[in-house]
Amino acid sequence: MSTNDPLLQPFQLRHLRLRNRVMTTSHEPAYAEDGLPKERYRAYHVARARGGIALTMTAGSAAVSRDSPPVFNNILAYKDEVVPWMKDLVDACHEHGAAVMIQLTHLGRRTRWDKGHWLPVVSPSHHKEAAHRAFPKKIEDWDLARIIKEYADAAERMQAAGLDGIELEAYGHLLDQFWSPLTNELEGPYGGTLENRMRFTLDVLRAVRARVGAELIVGVRYTADERLEGGLTKAEGFEISRRLKASGMVDFLNIVRGHIDTDAGLTDLIPIQGMPSAPHLDFTGEIRAATQFPTFHAARIQDVATARHAIATGKVDMIGMTRAHMTDPDIVRKIIAKREGDIRPCVGANYCLDRIYQGGSAYCIHNAATGRELFIPHEIPPAAVKRRVVVVGAGPAGLEAARVAAERGHEVIVHEAAADPGGQVRLTARSRARQEMIGIIDWRMAQCTTRNVKFHFESYVDAEDVMAGRPDVVIVATGGLPHTEVLKAGNDLTVSSWDILSGSIQPRTNVLLFDDAGDHSALQAAQVIANSGARLEIMTPDRSFAPEVMAMNLVPYMRSLQSLDVTFTVTFRLEQVIREGSSLLAIVGSDYGGVRKERRVDQVVINHGTLPNDGLYFALKPVSTNRGAVDYARLIAGAQQPHDDNPVEVGSHPFQLFRIGDAVSARNTHAAIYDALRLVNDL
């Protein structure tokens, strides 16, 4: 099919024809097993290859050396066993028409000595990296020779596995630790002038080329401007770009801008929701214009229009839509089918990336099939038997249940007590920085509407109302309500973070916010309070601040809250609140014992998760055929729930009852959506 769409034009990268201009840049989802890309890893990439991308840059920071141990679960490219696994992945993606490359690296100081084999961390200086905190050994001549050889060994393994190409990582890792004056304190020949600082990279490239020849595509993904005082400048970045091209050993440049040694730096380089879209695209375009060389780029290009603009204006040759493909692996297929409106939007929540830095694997906040392709397909299977499904609650869990049930062909009716859909997500999206979250709701509403789901808003139903509709299945997704009864005394003197977020209670002037959930609600309420001009102290009994928010998501909050002079107090627990005239006396203790402090404030805000809103569920439970029970073994195995035949009242219509999301217990948006997807996929 011929098309004028710039995104769908092929790109010729030397001998390699890429079928369109859309790629996923390398991103380690931490799915490796024993450092190897096994079935789960393969299924993840195959889903995107099937979805139409031209190129998948696999792994992310695949380790070339033993003294570059991953801090999360990356591929170990120094193992010979990697070859057959990579080959299976490559062959499977090739079958679907996608090219496959891999990113290789030595992390230098961006790792820890207490990982892997407990080898010392190396770098061209002793300066530690803030994010990983290891004090490196200053690299020696025998390290250089060893690591250069290990890069070539890894490249040879990837060639043996049939990859179309490799990419060397040079931002925050060993190669650019040589480039940056901030991290290179060597004397010549590897320190000092830019030529010397680039020598190690060129030595590596020379060794790689000597080993793999001219056939394998080789590129470099690098920072062309560290945006750090004393660091690599834009002028040097341009010079590096020219020198890489002039070396004749490189086939493409993959540009990033900034530094990743701190959480804040990483978040500016890979922006999240609330931050500007495509912030480094014009900069990348300048490099492409200066070098006239194949150029790749990704950084918060989430929507097709921006991606199309990037290609149409010639700023890049290949555009990365990496997180966008974690949300929807079928973007290209939908563009081709003229179904762009069906693309599930990446809302920039960064749950995916933040999780891997906490040791988890990458999951998308609102596509629970991603990373679970082996047992949850992205395409929803039609139901063998059509049933009438009543969903109560139109938050993320209820809407996902409705969407999946409708897609399966069931008749679906949704009751929502509020006037609008969204539940807690609607509250979340009231903050400007998080308003993209409403995309989770809007997309589901649009999908449900085209599948004839019947919605009843402002419809507060009881058990009789539900049963009157003669459902075959009832799914209770009624969410939760703030849990504020958490103090020894004085609960009635407090308000909840939701009261502040919803605007139903205005902040006073001197506020104590007690956060025992460590989640977004606390920090969003804190922003409302601090922005009102109030003096604010956030107190948590945890030993780290806002643990459920995670590293990159914390950055925008800290930037605003620190600038508003908010006080952060960890390891202290609010115990009781006492009224004293027009003010409140807060009594504070600690889980460590032995302390008692006081705070005199005029408002206490509690953030302590939710309690399930479960009245309807318990009313329906005794009259349902399964008494609300879930067969966990079947749920996990992706099998249908059993049709238990507990007795029902004579004349009443038998129905199965399930509850999902926060109506069960306070969790998060991903958990709510996952509850719904895996249950309804097999109804």
Ligand X SMILES: Cc1cc2nc3c(=O)[nH]c(=O)nc-3n(C[C@H](O)[C@H](O)[C@H](O)COP(=O)(O)O)c2cc1C
List interacting residues with ligand X (CB under 6 A).
25-29, 60-61, 103, 169, 221, 270, 298-301, 320-324, 352-353, 356, 362
Q: Is 350 in the site for ligand SF4 (CB under 6 A)?
A: yes
For residues 327 and 370, is the Cβ–Cβ distance under 8 A? yes
- Please, which residue, 168 or 501, has the CB nearer to ligand X? 168
For residues 151 and 166, is the Cβ–Cβ distance under 8 A? no
What single DSSP character describes residue 647? -
Distance (Å) of CA 582 to CA 357, 372, 565, 600: 45, 55, 25, 10
Among ligand X, ligand SF4, none, what does residue 27 contact (CB within 5–8 Å per kind)?
ligand X
Nearest in space to 530 (alpha carbons), one of 553, 574, 560, 504:
560
For residues 108 and 136, is the Cβ–Cβ distance under 8 A? yes
Phi-psi region of 497 (alpha: psi -120 to 50; beta: other; left: phi over 0): alpha
For residues 258 and 265, is the Cβ–Cβ distance under 8 A? yes
Among ligand SF4, ligand X, none, what does residue 151 contact (CB within 5–8 Å per kind)?
none
Among ligand X, ligand SF4, none, what does residue 329 contact (CB within 5–8 Å per kind)?
none
- Please, which residue, 299 or 584, has the CB nearer to ligand X? 299
- Please, which residue, 354 or 515, has the CB nearer to ligand X? 354
Nearest-angstrom CA–CA distance, 69 and 63: 7
For residues 392 and 466, is the Cβ–Cβ distance under 8 A? yes
For residues 337 and 7, is the Cβ–Cβ distance under 8 A? no
Tokens of 542: 């945890």
Pairing between strand 99-105 and 165-170? parallel
Give just the sign of the alpha carbon dihedral 375, 553, 37, 257: positive
Least separation in angstroms between CB 277 and ligand SF4: 13
Among ligand X, ligand SF4, none, what does residue 431 contact (CB within 5–8 Å per kind)?
none
Least separation in angstroms between CB 295 and ligand X: 14
Q: Which of 122, 256, 318, 349 binds ligand SF4 (CB under 6 A)?
A: 349
For residues 102 and 58, is the Cβ–Cβ distance under 8 A? yes
For residues 581 and 574, is the Cβ–Cβ distance under 8 A? no
Nearest-angstrom CA–CA distance, 222 and 168: 8
Stretch in the footprint of ligand SF4 (CB under 6 A) among 42-50, 61-69, 232-240, 349-357? 349-357
Residue nearest ligand X (C-beta atom): 60
Nearest in space to 52 (alpha carbons), one of 313, 348, 324:
324
Stretch in the footprint of ligand SF4 (CB under 6 A) among 76-84, 348-356, 528-536, 594-602? 348-356
Q: Is 348 in the site for ligand SF4 (CB under 6 A)?
A: yes
Nearest in space to 528 (alpha carbons), one of 669, 434, 395, 667:
434
Q: Is 530 in the site for ligand SF4 (CB under 6 A)?
A: no
- Please, which residue, 351 or 655, has the CB nearer to ligand SF4? 351
Among ligand SF4, ligand X, none, what does residue 349 contact (CB within 5–8 Å per kind)?
ligand SF4
Among ligand X, ligand SF4, none, what does residue 365 contact (CB within 5–8 Å per kind)?
ligand SF4
- Please, which residue, 353 or 383, has the CB nearer to ligand X? 353
Q: Is 538 in the site for ligand SF4 (CB under 6 A)?
A: no
Among ligand SF4, ligand X, none, what does residue 301 contact (CB within 5–8 Å per kind)?
ligand X
Max intra-chain CA distance, the chain: 90
Among ligand SF4, ligand X, none, what does residue 308 contact (CB within 5–8 Å per kind)?
none
Nearest-angstrom CA–CA distance, 321 and 40: 21
Query: Site residues for ligand SF4, window 363-382 (CB under 6 A)?
Result: 364-366
Q: Is 352 in the site for ligand SF4 (CB under 6 A)?
A: yes
Residues in contact with ligand SF4, shown as a per-residue x/- string from 305 to 344 under the rule CB under 6 A: ------------------x--xx-----------------
The binding site for ligand SF4 (CB under 6 A) comprises: 323, 326-327, 346-352, 364-366
